[in-house]
Amino acid sequence: MPQPRKQHLIDTAYRLFNEHGYHATGIDLVLAESGVSKATLYKYFRSKEELILAVLQQRHEQQIALIQRTMEQARENAEPPALAIFDALDNWFRSEAFFGCNFINASAEYAQDDDAIHQLAARHKARVQQLIEDNLGALGEDKAPLAAQLSLLVDGAIVYAHTRGDKNAAKLAKKMAARLLVG
Amino acid sequence: MPQPRKQHLIDTAYRLFNEHGYHATGIDLVLAESGVSKATLYKYFRSKEELILAVLQQRHEQQIALIQRTMEQARENAEPPALAIFDALDNWFRSEAFFGCNFINASAEYAQDDDAIHQLAARHKARVQQLIEDNLGALGEDKAPLAAQLSLLVDGAIVYAHTRGDKNAAKLAKKMAARLLVG
DNA sequence: GCCTAGGTGAACAGATCTGTTCATGTCAAG
DNA sequence: CTTGACATGAACAGATCTGTTCACCTAGGC
């Protein structure tokens, strides 16, 4: 087993950061909830910031994989891949563990754009947007701005759902996305 | 002069909360930057949370007033008031002091939906959406979902601009909004 | 001059934060 | 049985946090 405790720390921290935010979640709480000792945490991570970055990095990879799977499945069903993202959002909003997007929330807490955490969030969003663009199919040469608009809709839906506690945000955004795709 | 120090505390705290976030901004920093003593702060506010709520409440009133003014001016110029909001966003994104929306950021840091700060943010967003709905003009009976969609676009533009540092988000959102309004 | 209201500055309490150190415990391989 | 790798628990340092208290100062009204 490769580093089971490191992984357990990341998973526990991920949950707590979501529920209570990054600054509000102390290292001691992560340790208590995970049952790992403080010395072990600081063996795997040089600082709390490094733990945060590891959590976001893992979440980044999971999200990208989920989006790719969702789009692939949609293409098999002869549906527009870009629209399928909003169905995935809909599922997410209706799950118990929805406290907004990790990256948007991290951007909010680390608001300065030269902060490493803020920049990681920006890179994640750019990667998602690129993924959308790559899956637009044969839609003329204006793919880039269209992907940007769809990406903006994704962020809008997430924030709308979280701040207002309104789980219908994904459907709302999907209608707008569908309009964009018909040209 | 009615309570000039109280106002000064709110203004200073507003700036610092924006730049560094709510948890990351300590009371002591607000005091140092404002030049007010700690005893005075705790005379006007029973706790840090109350100061945060006062900052958000003031920001709420200012935002509502700005949106109303923007829409009124647009109507005088025979432009769609709902679209004018995105021009106001564009100005905001290009100003120096743009660190995202106070209410979205506060929602992110106080992620639990039963938190007083989270709820104040939700009420603000609902009020803005109501304002949009009231200014849709003669657009059939489906004003409510249209206002919700425009509100989602506003949030999307703000988050897009802040996380990615892309100031063109307002124009991107405005194009989508214009599409929605033509019916 | 005197009183009062409001503000300051500084000290203080008590909690909590990140990060370090180290003696002890455990367990598997040789 | 011994060794080594790994983890624990607890104490510790030092900073920082919110919130309280109080002696002092200052300015305006009488």
pLDDT at B2: 58
* In chain A, where the domains are located: 1-45, 57-181
CA B39 to C1' C12, whole Å: 14
For residue range A107-159, list pLDDT tens digits in order.
Answer: 999 999 999 999 999 999 999 999 999 999 876 678 999 999 999 999 999 99
CA angle, A18 then B169 then A82, to 5°? 70
C17 C1': nearest CA residue: A26
For residue range A5-41, list pLDDT tens digits in order.
Answer: 999 999 999 999 999 999 999 999 999 999 999 999 9
pLDDT at A138: 74
CB contact under 8 A, B163 and A118: yes
Nucleotide nearest to A23 (CA to C1'): C17
Superfamily holding A1-45: Homeodomain-like (1.10.10.60)
CA A57 to C1' D13, whole Å: 32
CA B47 remoteness from chain centre: 23
Statement: the CB of A28 is under 7 Å from strand C: yes
CATH of B57-181, one of 1.10.357.10, 2.60.40.10, 1.10.3720.10, 3.40.50.1980: 1.10.357.10
CB B31, CB B37: distance < 8 Å:
yes
Nearest to A163 among B20, B100, B125 (CB): B125
For residue range A79-117, list pLDDT tens digits in order.
Answer: 999 999 999 999 999 999 899 999 999 999 999 999 999
Nearest to A179 among B110, B125, B179 (CB): B179
Q: Helix A81-93 crosses helix A48-76 at what angle (to 10 degrees)?
A: 130
pLDDT at B21: 98
Burial environment of residue A64 by CB neighbours within 10 A (0 to 12, 13 to 18, 19 or more): middle
Spatial separation of the C-alpha atoms in residues A109 and A157, rounded to whole Å: 20
Amino acid (1-letter code) at residue B72: E
Spatial separation of the C-alpha atoms in residues B97 and A106, rounded to whole Å: 19
Residue with tokens 């948007």, as numbered in its chain: A104
Q: Which ranges of chain B have pLDDT less than 70?
A: 1-2, 139-140, 183
End-to-end CA distance of chain B: 51
For residue range B97-119, list pLDDT tens digits in order.
Answer: 899 999 999 999 999 999 999 99
